[in-house]
Amino acid sequence: MIESVLLPLTLFIAVSGVALPLMVERYGRKAAAIAAGAVMALCLASLAPLFSSAISGQTVIAHFDWLPSFGLNLSFRLDGLSMLFSILILGIGILVVLYAHYYLPEDDKLGRFYALLLLFMSAMLGVVLSENLLMMVVFWEVTSLSSFLLIAYKSASHESRIAARMALVVTGAGGLAFLAGVLLLGNVAGSYELTDVIAAATQIKADPLYPTILTLVLLGAFTKSAQFPFHFWLPNAMVAPTPVSAYLHSATMVKAGVFLLARFYPVLSGTDAWLFSVSAIGGITLVYGAYLAMYRNDFKGLLAYSTISHLGLITLLFGLSTPMSVVAAVFHIINHAIFKASLFMAAGIIDHECGSRDMRRVNGLFKLMPITATLAMLAAGSMAGVPLLNGFLSKEMFFTESIVFQGFGNSHWILPIFATIAGVLAVAYSVRFIHDVFFNGEPVDLPRQPHEPPRWMRVPVEVLVVLCLLVGIFPAWSVGALLASAAGATLQSTLPVYDLKIWHGFNLAFLMSLIALAGGVGLYMMRSTLMRWNDQLPTISSRTFFERAYQNLAAYAENILLIMDNGSLQRYMAVFFLFVFIYGAWAFISGGSMVNAVSSLPLDVASGIAFFALALGALGAVFMHHRRLLSIILIGIVGLVVALIFVRFSAPDLALTQLSVEVVTTVLMLLALHYLPQYTPKESSKTRVVRDVLLALGIGLGMAFVSFELLTSSFSTISDFYLQQSVPGGGGSNVVNVILVDFRGFDTLGEITVLAMAALGTHALLNQLRLMQPMPDSAGRLWAEDAHPLFLKMLMRPLLPLALAVAVYIFLRGHNLPGGGFVAGLVTGVALILQSLAGGFAFAEDRLPKSYPPILGLGLAMAAGVGLISWFFVRPFLTSAHGHIEIPLVGDIELASVIIFDLGVYLVVVATVLLILTELGRLNMKGARV
Amino acid sequence: MNHSPILPILVPFIASIVLLMMSACKLSWQRGVGALAVTLLLAVSVNLLLLADQPAPLVYALGDWQAPFGIVLVADRLAALVVLTMALLSAAVLLYASAGFDGKGRHFHAVFQLQLVGINGAFLTGDVFNLFVFFEVMLLASYILLAHGSGLNKSRAGFAYVTLNLAGSAVFLVALGLIYGTLGTLNLADIAMQLKTVSATEASLVRLSGALLMAVFLLKAAVLPLSFWLPHAYSAAGAPVAALFAIMTKVGIVAILHVQMIAFSAAPVMHGLLDSWLIVAALATIVFAAIGLLSAKSLQSLVAWLILGSAGLLLIVPSLNNELVTAAGLYYLVQSAVVGAAFFMMADLISNARGHIGDAFIITEWASDNKLKLGYFILAATAAGLPPFSGFVGKLMLLFAVKESVMMPAIWTIILIVSLITTIALAKAGSRLFWETPNDLASAPRPASFQHSIFQYSATFGLIAVSLLLVIFAQPLSDFTLRAAEQLHAPEQYIEAVIPHHADIQRGVRP
Amino acid sequence: MEAILAIAIGLLFGCGVYLMLRARTFPVIIGLTLTSYAVNLFLFASGRLVVNAPPIISADIVRYTDPIPQALVLTAIVIGFGMTAYIVTLALRGLSESGDDHVDMIEKTADSASNQLPKRRL
């Protein structure tokens, strides 16, 4: 159907209209109100063409794929039920817009208010027009969010903020349950489109997941409709401006919950689980809400509890799940929306005029504002179920249904009694509202002198009250068609036979109505006794409870957190190592195999001695780690032995590198120790030492075992390629060097980037360091009293050119023999540093470059630049070239482009070493100056 | 010769070189170079995404040495997607930092570019040792950025972060030694091939190597019990840095996805290595993050916990190893990175405006403006996974995708309850920050309105706008992540693209 | 020989791990250094042990040890050096800011001389 485009169009109008009031608020409050009203009217106009098909029982569906793989599609539906709700949402919405313009204070520009109202309206419209259930959840949650913002509209008030959060938490939680329910539902039905889900109803009800689905969906419905025990958020939400209460908390949002019951009625109802859970919750809420409503001194609170009660009634009717009870439920949805919205607006007028909502002070208003009083009394009469008003009709239907209902077997007498009690209570609180507010003596000490409100502020109330009368007197003519199509869409089957008229004869139901009226008045007469009794009951404010619950939750969370994470790095490390150990051990053992291997190389004496030295160094460093200088020396020994191991097992490059790094690292450590305490205090507890020893033992033994396994197994590798290609492909005979600068040059580029960054990081860190004094040793001595020993100075001067020459030599031969840019760079760096150690940093500073970062940049640029050149030869980054060059006297030299790369490495290394060590040294000077 | 796979690495690398050379120049010049570089990075990333959107990934052999001998960059859809996300974030972060944060210490701009080099390299490389190198580049840059600015908190969190990561690097190297020592190769595609023919005697060592590798990635991805460092580090870092870190945990996840899906999932020897237990840890991480959320004392630390929660959520992806879950997870990855970054910036904006109290949840009088309120609201709703924002779309996709798993009830329950807790915590935080005022209003002077830098505003709200676009364009994006997931779950194409003639590769036996 | 090297690696690991679990920055750094020796040896050993066969191509030699692990270890040594330099300076900065060299950088105030955990900021 081509008209189906109107569905997304309507929502598009609604959503895009949200910002409109904000945009026009600068033209005045009226402009904002007109904009909001216009958006709603436009939505209504856009939907209207589809109403005729909905009335005739057809369902209009518009479907657009959005995320089909995840079940989320933009599909919309208009049937009788969604038509009814759209009319309620938009119709009452327009009246609320008009009303709010007068209700809210003059200094409120209204743009934000109307924007939020429209946002809420769009979301509601989305909920009722959704065909895709996930889409429905989306809109559902947006109603929670926007109602949160609306309740918190007066955010300066403490009550508003708590009430808003309470509503958000309760309805938000329900929304999440609803989401889970929908996901399961779609999973069972195989589709998230409502039509398909309805078609799969039998299958769903037979599914083992049905109870879970039902629970989750009902949680969504009950929280939103403020059913017991989730009702408490609604009375608190009354702190919202009255237009919000009229719109959200009587006509629309709370109705979303019962809408859900109606929507899922064909899918989920018809089981005992549905019957008992829904009707029980509805019944309890019906009576409980009505009972509490009686005791409210705040008339808005009275209306709030009455709303809870009426929602309970509707829920109960859906729970009974006979066709006739569904008709009654849908009918009461209409009626309640009309009379309760008008009551809220009337209440708002009274509040506005009197400055108080306390029925002990607001009395005798009939004389002061007779028109408003008459309107409110009519609406309250409808609430009480007085004949000729719409509330009477649906209540009568409920009474009739309670009599004929047989679903509870032998206990069928319970329902009529229950219904009558609820009726009595409803009459009692309605009478209280009428009598206390409009009669019952004179106003007591009101902040303002009440009189009739502005003409147009009353119009919405008048319209609604006229509707109460119209429906009450001419039901079939006024809402017959709407009710029939909505009930039909809810039932998804043929409607039962019923007769919408005022007088059904003097029957049992009418008798129940009479009892309710009489009993209600009687109950009101006894109010003082009841009130006294009720006052004795312990009360706890749900607001206090909610805040306290949150605080407890936060405190509880904090305690757990403190236990789990005490902020200690030692624990993090221990946990990490333990994790690695357990995970690794599990993975290893679950691999299942164990190699029974033996060493292939024989052990020689030299190796034994080396091992002994290594063990001595390592264990010494552990046992004497409290003496820091000693431990530096001991790990220096370990480093040397490691270099020896490299030499022994055919890795001269590694040995060279290890040695030179060792030197620089030692210098670095010594410099650092200059500022650090010289001794580590013994502060670890015994248990901690035991824990750490066990962990270290586990990891050490594990690694020894794994190393042995690895060393004694054989494997196949791609490494022969490098040996074959090194000379022809890489132009160098030192395969390790060729790998570094050519085959895996990209790694080396990353590696020197790390180096450069280490220098930058040191530079950045030490820049901000506060000055500090070197730590004296235990005897109070500073480290070196003689800063620059003369003999060292004399020794170092001639050594510098020598060292530089060595560096050049190491650099040049690197490609073919052990050496290369890295080692050459370290040698150069160390030579220069020794110079400055000997000559003093001031001496060195004069001779060394002032700023190192550009040199680092230059080094990186050379390495990357030579890689980029290959682009001009249509080769990937870092492709090398090499060739032979005949230089007179020197002879045949193999020259590879990677030599520039290696030069870059060299520069970065030199600059890094110099930067780090001079920065550390400079600290000393800073300290000395103070 | 198509160089596009290396451009996301080279562009920031060259920029950093230029920035080093001009380290003596004025900050405004450095900002210009940085801005130029990230703009260029965005362009090359978009280009890469378009090129990589094909069944076979793009392969770039560095030094013209073919895999498995040389190092290759492999731009599959996943890598291209995260590179583009990274580029987007980096543009916003640089903009934000250029409002003055960059001047709080030395070398911010150069190190920032190197950070991008490290992250993009880690995303793109197809060689595990090269991955180690880029991890180190990334980590060292992040150490420096974390320490940028001053304060004891930074040093404390920094030292813990560095030490823990150095321990992680040691484990990484052991894992690499084991991989090379058993499989004789370092190329990921080649590892995948070799894993298929592991002999029974090697199985234990090979499994151990896989476990150690995953342990390192999991440390970066901050799975419980390896997640304690994250909230401390992320709440101590300067706001722009924290924003950049929003994607750092994702590097761990992307590494896990690459290694797990390309190499491990088809290999019998790695059976159950991750998927047998990770889901429990992932869910525990989510719960832990929720506990943290409730006890957070300032907005930035709250956002740090949010990041941890999203990391936990993402870890569901490798633990279930299901195509649809992967697709959902990738959407979630992009959106949570964007929103996390924006949220850190928002925390900083609020903190600046609130004066010396900063973003701590202490009631104070300050001149909040509606833009901040709106921004906070959108970010909070997104982070809590409420519709109609991208967080909801991502969460919904994940919930939908895990429905076939046996763990579905647990996953759903935890995700939904944590969503609720997040909502509660963020609503309370918003109420504290924006709504509540001190009781004695009379004594508190009305603060002057705070002027925010236009850079900071546009960076923050730019990212918020991006997060909204993620909803509007959820369809094309989720289609892309579906294709990316498809590619990850069919590693043969990846392997074929990297090593076309696998049978011809000669291997020698040692010893 | 393999056995003794394996024991050496395990020993270095154990010692390194133990020291990394200490409460002061300095032993932690020493522990990191020891661990990196262990790691480098292990990585190197992944090419297996070969005596007198350096990977330097020469016409008259046919046997070479595996060059790849050597290249990897070289890279690892260099990176390790950079990291060590950085963490040393970080420790110094922590000392200057907290007045103490505890790894948790407890702020030294007059009344908290004892081993008290740092104030949480979270």
- Give the pLDDT confidence of B353-406 residue by residue, as tens digits: 888 788 888 887 787 788 899 999 999 999 999 888 999 999 999 999 998 889
Phi, psi of A685 (to 5 degrees): -75, 160
How confident is the model at residue A364, as a pLDDT?
Answer: 86
pLDDT in tens, A512-531: 888 989 998 988 888 878 87
- What percentage of chain B's residues is helix, strand, coil (to nearest 5)? 75, 5, 25
Distance of CA A384 to CAs A287, A337, A393, C4, Å?
14, 14, 11, 95
pLDDT in tens, C74-97: 999 999 999 999 999 999 888 888
Of A197-206, A273-282, B48-57, B198-207, the one with minimum mean pLDDT is B198-207
Judge whether B511 is closer than 8 Å to chain A, CB to CB: yes
For A719, the closest of B148, B226, B508 (CB atoms) is B508
- Contact list in C for residue A727 (CB cut-off 8 A) is 57
Let me know if residue A871 belongs to a domain.
yes
- Distance from C-alpha of B232 to C-alpha of B156, rounded to nearest angstrom: 9
pLDDT (mean) for B39-62: 95
For C75, the closest of A635, A708, A747 (CB atoms) is A747
- Please check the confidence at residue B444 and state whether its pLDDT lies above 60: no
Cα of C46 to nearest chain B Cα, Å? 4
DSSP letters, A851-865, are --HHHHHHHHHHHHH
What residues have CB less than 8 Å from B276, skipping those under 6 apart? none
DSSP state of B388: T
How confident is the model at residue C120, as a pLDDT?
Answer: 40
How confident is the model at residue A889, as a pLDDT?
Answer: 60
pLDDT (mean) for A704-709: 93
| Helices B408-430 + B299-314 axis angle, to 10 | 170
Cβ distance B291 to A156 less than 8 Å, yes or no, reads no
Chains near B with 3+ CB pairs less than 8 A apart are A, C
Tell me, what's the ipTM?
0.95
Closest CA to B258 of B47, B75, B496: B75
What count of other Cβ atoms lies within 10 Å of the Cβ of residue B58? Answer: 19
Q: Say if residues A421 and A517 touch (Cβ distance below 8 Å).
A: no
How confident is the model at residue A887, as a pLDDT?
Answer: 61
What is the extent of the structural domain holding B233? 4-501
Judge whether C107 is closer than 8 Å to chain B, CB to CB: yes
**In the structure, what pLDDT confidence band is assigned to residue A796 with cuts at 50, 70 and 90?**
low
- Distance from C-alpha of B313 to C-alpha of B333, rounded to nearest angstrom: 9
- Distance from C-alpha of A516 to C-alpha of A523, rounded to nearest angstrom: 10
How confident is the model at residue C61, as a pLDDT?
Answer: 82
Of A115-119, A678-682, B291-295, B312-316, the one with minimum mean pLDDT is A678-682
Cβ distance C75 to A669 less than 8 Å, yes or no, reads no
**In the structure, what pLDDT confidence band is assigned to residue B300 with cuts at 50, 70 and 90?**
very high
- Please check the confidence at residue A680 and state whether its pLDDT lies above 50: yes
Phi, psi of A887 (to 5 degrees): -105, 130
**In the structure, what pLDDT confidence band is assigned to residue C119 with cuts at 50, 70 and 90?**
very low
- Please check the confidence at residue A741 and state whether its pLDDT lies above 90: no
Let me know if residue A58 belongs to a domain.
no
How confident is the model at residue A443, as a pLDDT?
Answer: 82
How confident is the model at residue A367, as a pLDDT?
Answer: 87
- Distance from C-alpha of C17 to C-alpha of A791, rounded to nearest angstrom: 41
CATH topology for the C2-50+66-98 domain: Helix Hairpins (1.10.287)
Token pair, residue A319, equals 């729970």
Token pair, residue A33, equals 């109100």
Domain end call among A504, A538, A572? A538
Q: What would you report as the CA-atom Rg of chain C, rounded to the nearest whole angstrom?
A: 20
Percent of chain A with pLDDT over 70: 92
Let me know if residue B362 belongs to a domain.
yes
- Contact list in A for residue C42 (CB cut-off 8 A) is 703, 707
pLDDT (mean) for A545-557: 89
- Distance from C-alpha of A42 to C-alpha of A90, rounded to nearest angstrom: 10
Domain end call among A498, A521, A538? A538
Cα of B305 to nearest chain C Cα, Å? 9
For A853, the closest of B23, B475, B506 (CB atoms) is B23
Cβ distance C10 to A710 less than 8 Å, yes or no, reads no
The whole model's pTM is what? Answer: 0.93
- Please check the confidence at residue A598 and state whether its pLDDT lies above 80: no
How confident is the model at residue A126, as a pLDDT?
Answer: 95
What residues have CB less than 8 Å from B132, skipping those under 6 apart? B169, B172, B173, B176
- Distance from C-alpha of A6 to C-alpha of A196, rounded to nearest angstrom: 22
- Contact list in C for residue A711 (CB cut-off 8 A) is 2, 5-6, 45, 48-49
pLDDT in tens, A710-734: 998 888 999 999 998 888 888 888 8
- Contact list in B for residue C107 (CB cut-off 8 A) is 152
**In the structure, what pLDDT confidence band is assigned to residue B448 with cuts at 50, 70 and 90?**
low
DSSP letters, B402-455, are GGGSTTHHHHHHHHHHHHHHHHHHHHHHHIIIII---S-TTTSPPPPPP---HH
Q: How many domains does chain A have?
A: 2
Q: Say if residues A306 and A429 touch (Cβ distance below 8 Å).
A: yes
pLDDT (mean) for A177-202: 94
**In the structure, what pLDDT confidence band is assigned to residue A275 with cuts at 50, 70 and 90?**
very high
Let me know if residue B508 belongs to a domain.
no
DSSP state of A497: P
pLDDT in tens, A313-334: 999 999 998 999 999 999 999 9
Q: Say if residues B119 and B127 touch (Cβ distance below 8 Å).
A: no
How confident is the model at residue B252, as a pLDDT?
Answer: 93
DSSP state of A685: -
What residues have CB less than 8 Å from B123, skipping those under 6 apart? B79, B82, B83, B86, B251, B254
pLDDT (mean) for A118-130: 95
Q: Say if residues A99 and A33 touch (Cβ distance below 8 Å).
A: no
pLDDT (mean) for A212-226: 95
Of A625-634, A886-895, B223-232, the one with minimum mean pLDDT is A886-895
pLDDT (mean) for A62-86: 92
Let me know if residue B507 belongs to a domain.
no
What count of other Cβ atoms lies within 10 Å of the Cβ of residue A554? Answer: 17
Closest CA to B248 of B219, B281, B215: B219
**In the structure, what pLDDT confidence band is assigned to residue B435 with cuts at 50, 70 and 90?**
confident
Q: In which element (H, E) is residue A768 found?
A: none
Average pLDDT, whole number, for chain A? 87
pLDDT (mean) for A203-213: 94
Let me know if residue A320 belongs to a domain.
yes
What is the extent of the structural domain holding A829? 734-930
Average pLDDT, whole number, for chain C? 84
- Please check the confidence at residue A312 and state whether its pLDDT lies above 60: yes
Q: Are strands A891-896 and A72-78 parallel, antiparallel or unpaired?
A: unpaired
Cβ distance B178 to A716 less than 8 Å, yes or no, reads no
How confident is the model at residue A917, as a pLDDT?
Answer: 84
DSSP letters, A829-884, are HHHHHHHHHHH-HHHHHHHS-S--HHHHHHHHHHHHHHHHHGGGGT--TT---EEE
DSSP state of B50: H
What count of other Cβ atoms lies within 10 Å of the Cβ of residue A211? Answer: 12
- Please check the confidence at residue A253 and state whether its pLDDT lies above 90: no
Cβ distance C39 to B174 less than 8 Å, yes or no, reads yes
For C121, the closest of B150, B186, B301 (CB atoms) is B301
Cβ distance A761 to C42 less than 8 Å, yes or no, reads no
- Please check the confidence at residue A686 and state whether its pLDDT lies above 70: yes
- Distance from C-alpha of C68 to C-alpha of C46, rounded to nearest angstrom: 9
pLDDT (mean) for A146-162: 88
Token pair, residue A883, equals 């060739």
The single residue listed with the structure tokens 């649906």 is: A394
Residue type, A450: P
**In the structure, what pLDDT confidence band is assigned to residue A84 with cuts at 50, 70 and 90?**
very high
- Please check the confidence at residue B66 and state whether its pLDDT lies above 80: yes
Token pair, residue B323, equals 């195509």
Token pair, residue A230, equals 């989730």
Nearest CA in chain A to C58: A733
Q: Are strands B508-510 and B72-75 parallel, antiparallel or unpaired?
A: unpaired
pLDDT (mean) for B92-119: 93
- Contact list in B for residue A560 (CB cut-off 8 A) is 291
For A750, the closest of B137, B203, B505 (CB atoms) is B137
Q: Say if residues A287 and A309 touch (Cβ distance below 8 Å).
A: yes
**In the structure, what pLDDT confidence band is assigned to residue C42 with cuts at 50, 70 and 90?**
very high
How confident is the model at residue C99, as a pLDDT?
Answer: 77
Judge whether B106 is closer than 8 Å to chain A, CB to CB: yes
Cβ distance A851 to B106 less than 8 Å, yes or no, reads no
What residues have CB less than 8 Å from B431, skipping those under 6 apart? A161, A165
pLDDT (mean) for B338-344: 96
pLDDT (mean) for B35-49: 96
- Distance from C-alpha of B115 to C-alpha of B119, rounded to nearest angstrom: 6
Q: How many domains does chain B have?
A: 1
How confident is the model at residue B211, as a pLDDT?
Answer: 96
Average pLDDT, whole number, for chain B? 91
How confident is the model at residue B233, as a pLDDT?
Answer: 92
**In the structure, what pLDDT confidence band is assigned to residue C112 with cuts at 50, 70 and 90?**
very low
Let me know if residue B506 belongs to a domain.
no
**In the structure, what pLDDT confidence band is assigned to residue B304 with cuts at 50, 70 and 90?**
very high
What count of other Cβ atoms lies within 10 Å of the Cβ of residue A268? Answer: 25
Closest CA to A200 of A214, A215, A186: A186
How confident is the model at residue B198, as a pLDDT?
Answer: 87
Let me know if residue A713 belongs to a domain.
no
Q: Say if residues A243 and A103 touch (Cβ distance below 8 Å).
A: yes
More confident of the two residues A503 and A290: A290
Closest CA to A523 of A424, A596, A606: A424
- Please check the confidence at residue A337 and state whether its pLDDT lies above 80: yes
Percent of chain A with pLDDT over 90: 48
- Please name the residues between 54 and 93 in chain B that touch chain A, using a CB distance below 8 Å: 60-65, 68-71
Q: In which element (H, E) is residue C92 found?
A: helix C67-98
Coil, strand, or helix at residue A39?
Answer: helix
Domain end call among A538, A566, A584? A538
Coil, strand, or helix at residue B57?
Answer: coil
Cβ distance B105 to A767 less than 8 Å, yes or no, reads yes
How confident is the model at residue C113, as a pLDDT?
Answer: 38
Q: In which element (H, E) is residue A75 found?
A: strand A72-78
Of A893-907, B244-258, B262-276, the one with minimum mean pLDDT is A893-907
How confident is the model at residue B501, as a pLDDT?
Answer: 85
More confident of the two residues A481 and A770: A481
Residue type, A609: I
